[in-house]
Amino acid sequence: MRHPHDIDVPLVLDRTSEVALPRQIAAGLRRAVESGVLRPGDPLPSTRTLAARLVVSRGTVVAAFDQLHGEGWLLADRGATRVDPDLARHPVPGPRPTRRTTGPGPSAEAGAGTGLVDLRPGQPDVSAVVGGDWRAAWRAASAGVGRRHEPAGSLRLRTALAEHLRLARGTLAEPDDLIVTAGVRDGWQLVLTALARRAGRPLVVAVEDPGYPALRRVPAILGHEVRPVPVDADGLLVEALARGATPDLVLVTPSHQYPLGGAMPVARRLDLLAWAGEHEVLVVEDDYDGELRFTGEPVPALAALDRRAYGHGRHVVTLGSFATVLAPGLGAGHALLPPDLRAELVMLREALGSPVAATVQDALTHYLDAGALRRHTARMRRRYRTRRDLAVSALDGLTGVRVRPMAGGLHGVVELVDADAERERTLVAAAAEYGVLVAGMAGYWAGEVAAPGPPSTPPADLPQHGLVVGLGAERLAEGLDLLREALTGS
């Protein structure tokens, strides 16, 4: 009869040693307990099973177990052999606890279990994701478990994504223009790797300043030069790209500049595309929060304008994900590529493998085909508009504080008037003492990742110091009340 606790025990036998095999087995089990690999109360495999795995006789294992029984390491318990639970009362060392470290970016786990209300950005409201459409999509996807998709991603999913881009972002694309990614950072790494291979040298990458830290760090980690370019209320300043040598590519968030929230007007988008065409520079569009706009008419994606001018488009890569509109843990997105770049990225994906499971791709396909994402996005747009109004009501009008306009997205910026970096740090710490976590503006400036060169000079009306407040928290109203108390009390 199969042992009910058939587990693996890491044992290595030296058959050339003069030490008898039973003693080697006993010593190996003893070391496993002493190191914490086996803990008090853990069951061991049956003597028959362990003998088969070690390719020794059952009697050899029985002799080892008998020795450890006699020494008090093991205990017979209802037909099974266990590490003696009484050893828990003695200082038998176990594995060292892992120290959690958090980088400068938001981490939902960092505030979990502390009782603090986490209003740091980057955490969407996921409470409305799971419903009938979601469950149906995953049920349908589970029927195809074991399926594999081509390196570019499921053709059905790419077809659904092309239709989604047409309806939601006004961008005409063919399925072969797209590849499936694990999100924006995954697509960003693929683009940087392909262009660096093509150039045969590190790249010069222009980024918005301030901008999204996680994306800005990617080229720096990969060994490329990061060049910060200032922004104003309408996004990246195109004329500032002329300062210094021409970059190889430009990373922008035109739909919702991160973190200030401005949307780049059509005229400036056309200026950026004209500059890119003149200098043969690739523009990488992070379509962050492009669908979660509360006010004003939707602005065409850069890729849409590029494709209208150049057919299939020549100068824009659009990176998108489902992290904000659905859930960050889904780990899926897409890249819309110019024709001359797609083959290189598919080759890289084929060599490196796809990080997006086939079941995830199939579930998203069913969800998109059912029109569920458009319905869910409309619901979330209304929900975030209400949350935006709640934040403005709670924080506007405070002395020394100005809430910047929020036309869309999952966060807002609370500008600290006439404040310095020390004041910003003090208020972030004070908010935590009152029970709410927020992010300071300081982490969004290029700072240490920028290469030596002409500094990014921000416009005078841009907030240098402030608090970045997320709108996706479950306890938003409570957190805003605590933040207001912290701002007034400090």
- Highest mean pLDDT: which of 251-265, 279-293, 366-380? 366-380
User: How many Å apart are CA 488 and CA 490, to the nearest integer?
Assistant: 6
The predicted structure's pLDDT at residue 41: 87
Confidence of residue 468 (pLDDT cuts 50, 70, 90): very high
What's the confidence (pLDDT) of residue 406? 76
CA distance 390 to 475: 12
* Topology of the domain comprising 21-89: Arc Repressor Mutant, subunit A (1.10.10)
CA distance 433 to 414: 18
Is the pLDDT at 324 greater than 70? The verdict is: yes
Predicted local confidence at residue 86, as pLDDT: 86
Structure pTM?
A: 0.78
DSSP 18-82: SS-HHHHHHHHHHHHHHHTSS-TT-B---HHHHHHHHTS-HHHHHHHHHHHHHHTSEEEETTEEE
- Residue extents of the structural domains in the chain: 21-89, 108-128+376-489, 132-374
Q: For residue 97, what pLDDT is reported? A: 40
Sign of CA dihedral 483, 216, 330, 375: positive
pLDDT digit string (tens) for 72-104?
A: 899 887 778 888 888 887 665 544 443 333 334
Give yes or no for residue 339 having a pLDDT over 80. yes
321 C-beta neighbours (distance < 10 Å), count: 24
Inter-residue contact 83 to 38 (CB < 8 Å): yes
Give Cβ neighbours of residue 103 (< 8 Å, ≥ 6 apart): none
Q: How confident is the model at residue 106 (pLDDT cuts 50, 70, 90)?
A: very low
Domain 108-128+376-489 has CATH 3.90.1150.10: yes
CB atoms within 10 A of CB 486: 21
Give Cα 456 distance to the centre of its chain: 27
In the block, which residue shows the tokens 């088969």? 52
State residue 239 phi and psi, 5-degree precision: -65, -25
Name the average pLDDT for the chain: 85
What's the average model confidence in pLDDT over 140-162? 90
Kind and range of the H or E element at 162?
Answer: helix 155-169
Could you tell me which residue, 113 or 163, shows the higher pLDDT?
163
User: Percent of the chain at pLDDT above 70?
Assistant: 86
Q: What pLDDT, in 10s, does the model give residues 20-50?
A: 999 999 999 999 888 888 889 888 888 888 9
Local confidence band at 144 (pLDDT 50, 70, 90 cut-offs): confident
pLDDT in tens, 302-313: 888 888 776 666
Fold of 132-374: Aspartate Aminotransferase; domain 2 (3.40.640)
